Amino acid sequence: MFKKATQGLVIAAIAATSMIAADKINGAGATFPAPCYYDWAYNYQKATKTRVNYQSIGSGGGIKQITERVVQFGATDAPLTPKELAAAKLLQFPAVFGSLAVAHNLPGVADEKLKLKNSVVADIFAGKITMWNDPAIVADNAGIDLPAKKIIVAHRSDGSGTTHVFTDYLSNVSPMWKSKFGTGKAIGWATGVGGKGNEGVTNIIKQTPYS
Same fold, 9-99 and 101-207: yes
Give me the pLDDT at residue 99, please. 85
Domain boundaries, the chain: 9-99, 101-207
The neighbouring-strand residues paired with 10 are 97
For the segment 153-191, what is each residue's pLDDT rounded down to a tens digit? 999 998 788 899 999 999 999 999 999 999 998 999 999
Q: How far apart are CA 84 and CA 90, in angstroms?
A: 9
Give me the pLDDT at residue 166, please. 94
Give me the pLDDT at residue 3, please. 40
For the chain, which residues score pLDDT lower than 70?
1-22
Q: What's the CATH number of domain 9-99, 1.10.287.70, 3.40.190.10, 3.40.30.10, 3.40.1000.10?
A: 3.40.190.10
Q: Which of 98, 99, 100 is nearest to 125 (CA)?
A: 100
Q: Are 78 and 179 in contact (CB under 8 A)?
A: no
Q: Reduced to 3 states, what is the DSSP secondary structure of residue 13?
A: strand
Give me the pLDDT at residue 78, please. 83
Give me the pLDDT at residue 21, please. 53
Output the pTM of the full model: 0.75
**CATH fold for domain 101-207:** D-Maltodextrin-Binding Protein; domain 2 (3.40.190)
For the segment 110-120, what is each residue's pLDDT rounded down to a tens digit? 878 999 999 99
Query: b/e for 146-160, b at 16 or more Cβ within 10 A?
Result: beeeebbbbbbbbbb
Q: Are 108 and 48 in contact (CB under 8 A)?
A: no
